[in-house]
Amino acid sequence: MRIRLSPFLTLALAFALNAFTATSAAAVTLGVTAQGVCLPNGLGVQVTVTSDAPVGFFNHSLVILFNSIQVGGPYTLAGGGSVTDTFAVVGSAGDTVSVTATVPQEWVDASGNVVGRGGKSAATTATLPGNCGPPEVPGVGRFTGGGNTIDTASGLKMTRGFTIHCDLLLSNNLEINWPGTGRQNQFHMLQHTEAQCTDDPAIDQRPPRAPVDRIDGVGTGRYNGQPGYTVYFTLVDAGEPGTADQIGFRVVGRGGNEVLNMPLQNITGGNVQAHYDQPHRQRP
């Protein structure tokens, strides 16, 4: 026996089916996992997003946020599948970052028909790892050097001279000079307060042989004769003839008044030289 449905009943059934599908899709939930990872040039986070959407459902607007800032994407998330990506993040070892995954638009089927609403989110956190990069070599080595560098951002020609010890002992000298309005700016370090020395296996800084090739340090001193300024510096000895050596300096006064900001970059003259800390007779 054949049953004929009236057009009204057919329309009602179609509406009910669409409502059921939309309701089912609206119930789709997201899952997000994140873990801190080491990247060649710093710290990062690997994120994986999944959903319990049926196979054949798609969302083309998956967005991933780190600390409320969008990165990468947008991505296509498929029912029965997942999205994994790795991002570099700015931070320090042990920092915790929040990760949020959102699908703000509709779910569609393989033909592009809307089958459900968007607006679903999931969140988690990740801790940046503390074992990335070259191992710290505390209290070993010293750095000497001088010369000039033309800042790639400002075009200023900066000169410097220094003798810096990783263990903060003995004489630590650092002087930086750069052009100013009507006069030459100068920073003279009076006290070396912090240092972390490292050895990158990928760098051969010889000659001479040394146990370290990079120092990240902090010191306090005078800027144009005025006390109360702090210098943050990085020195890298990348071997001879010195053209691959790098320096970076930032000088800040009380209240965060920044008077010099020269990001880490290759030097244009002179040298950065790492040594064994000979005054302590550490050389083997």
All structural domains of the chain with their residue ranges: 7-127, 142-280
Q: Helix (H, G, I), strand (E, B), or coil: what is residue 16?
A: helix
Mean of the per-residue pLDDT values of the chain? 80
For residue 110, how many other CB atoms are within 10 A of its CB?
Answer: 10
For residue 223, how many other CB atoms are within 10 A of its CB?
Answer: 21
Round to whole Å and give the CA distance between 201 and 56: 49
Burial of 194 (0-12, 13-18, 19+ CB in 10 A): exposed
pLDDT of residue 23: 38
pLDDT of residue 173: 94
Structural element, H or E, at residue 235: strand 226-236
Round to whole Å and give the CA distance between 199 and 205: 10
- In this prediction, residues 243-261 reach a mean pLDDT of 89
For residue 268, how many other CB atoms are within 10 A of its CB?
Answer: 14
Of 38-42, 101-105, 106-110, 159-163, the poorest mean pLDDT is in 38-42
Using pLDDT thresholds of 50, 70 and 90, give the confidence band for residue 10: very low
Using pLDDT thresholds of 50, 70 and 90, give the confidence band for residue 18: very low
Sign of the Cα torsion 148, 154, 155, 156 reads negative
Using pLDDT thresholds of 50, 70 and 90, give the confidence band for residue 5: very low
Report residue 256: phi and psi, to 5°.
85, 15
Cis preceding-peptide flag for 201 (omega within 30 of 0) = no
Cis preceding-peptide flag for 211 (omega within 30 of 0) = no
Look at residues 121, 118, 122 and name the one whose alpha carbon lies nearest to residue 58. Answer: 118
pLDDT of residue 39: 77
- 112: number of CA atoms within 13 Å, CB side? 0
Query: Six-digit token pair at 72?
Result: 């990468």
Each residue's pLDDT tens digit, 154-170 = 888 899 999 999 988 88
Round to whole Å and give the CA distance between 29 and 113: 20
Percent of the chain residues topping a pLDDT of 70: 83
pLDDT of residue 231: 93
Contact 246, 238 (CB under 8 A): yes
Instruction: Return the CATH fold of 7-127.
Output: Immunoglobulin-like (2.60.40)
- In this prediction, residues 182-211 reach a mean pLDDT of 87
Each residue's pLDDT tens digit, 46-59 = 999 888 888 888 88
- In this prediction, residues 65-69 reach a mean pLDDT of 81
Round to whole Å and give the CA distance between 151 and 230: 20
Output the pTM of the full model: 0.52
pLDDT of residue 139: 61
